[in-house]
Amino acid sequence: MVAAVTHLRHTDRRDRSFRVGLFHWGIDMRIAVGLLVFLIGVPLVGGENWPRFRGPDGSGISDEKGFPLHWDEEDFVWKTELPGIGQSSPCVWGEHVFLTSAKDEGRKRYVLDLDVVSGKIRWAYELTLGAQEVHHLASNASPTPTTEGTRVYVRFTGSDGVTLLALDFRGELVWKVNLGPFDNRPPQGCGASPVVFDDLVIIMNSQETASSIIAVDSATGKERWKVGRPGQRTCHSTPIVLRRDGVEPQLLFSSSADGLGGLDPRSGKIRFRAPLLSGRVVGSPVYADGVVFGTSGGGGKGRSLAAVSVDSRGDLQEDDAAWTSTRELPYVPTPIAHGGYLYTWADIGVVKCIIAKTGEKVWLHRVGGAFSASPIWVDEKLYCVTRQGDVVVIQAGPKFRILARNSLGEESNSTPAVAGGRMFFRGVKHAFCLPARVDAD
């Protein structure tokens, strides 16, 4: 049952009373029936949130279960038309699905809040920024929002620089700051998303020229620390924050100039850097079993992968790496690490399973299609969306098997999200919600 397509309404200060009553005035019977079926099959509250790019810790891994292998349009509980275009992934917290979008060649930017049950756009915060030229697979709304449950934080870039803003869950602006110029060379735009650590919002500002990593106060937007980094190929990687029992937290980042790096997220002090990535860095770092992995590439193909200990200190050389690789690698999609295996999903549709500790190849297969989205791991399966909008599902583990291929019906360059018994997809025109179900095949 697909809810009727909803359209943008500037409701950031209106329609606050809508809180997904099943028989809310104005909801037609078809939507009501669809929601009733959804509510019977899926609890309203449950499962983890998905508060940033690639989930709670940036790993791309979900503990949710019960999603069908095969589906068609009627299985989506809602499908909502979005204004403009964007490649940001869904950011999900409770009843809220946050997305961004851009119109008028990037001059109009939007932060959107969709109701998790109905798909209705609760509010749309609009701002005008300087446009910038972007890659044909990107947009002026590529970075994914992030939240800690009280405010949603959004990054935009344009001819007027780097804009970081915070909105409350009613769509009211809390603060907006400009963090300096963004050198859009080559003209690709920006894909690096903000991350939250305690009371800080941290972004990578990686450019051709002088770059930086910046932390601002999440309540005020005031700068708390800034560490300069060398410029070398504008990169689009989103950092991850590593928390381990008995060990100080560490922010793991990657760029062409630094390769893989780690710093103290409270102060910005660099702990290590391993300049072992030979190309432009787009994929995010991945952590597993004491090791951080990073990839780089160019021209639509991966060029290098490096694996180094997260407990490293100082400047590392190639001999300090756990292992490296230069073959059959992704450029844009971020790998997945789980259960002792590292899975790389290349832009050209070649998927490889590797023993994470050693780099030994377990299997390699071509699944078909071209990919910009990153895979996610759900219930012993990997899901990844082709640029044409086909959701490819394969079995995770030491034996390769394609399980399903389902079409969204439109192009997509966005990584899915999973939260509260629902899987969320973002196409070029619509957002989609697929519920888990008891009789999942």
pLDDT digits (tens, 9 = 90+) for 209-239: 889 999 999 999 999 999 999 877 888 999 9
> Which pTM value belongs to this model?
0.89
Q: Take residue 23 and report the two structure tokens written for it.
A: 């028989």
State yes or no: pLDDT of 420 exceeds 90: yes
Q: What is the mean pLDDT of residues 386-391?
A: 98
- Position 47 scores a pLDDT of 57
Do 265 and 221 contact (CB within 8 A), yes or no? no
User: What's the mean per-residue pLDDT of the chain?
Assistant: 88
Structural domains in the chain, CATH included, are: 29-435 (2.130.10.10)
Tokens 């044909």 sit on residue: 136
Q: What is the mean pLDDT of residues 336-354?
A: 98
- Position 124 scores a pLDDT of 98
Burial class (CB in 10 A: 0-12, 13-18, 19+), 175: middle
pLDDT digits (tens, 9 = 90+) for 112-165: 999 999 999 999 999 999 877 777 776 788 999 999 999 999 999 988 899 999
Do 161 and 168 contact (CB within 8 A), yes or no? no
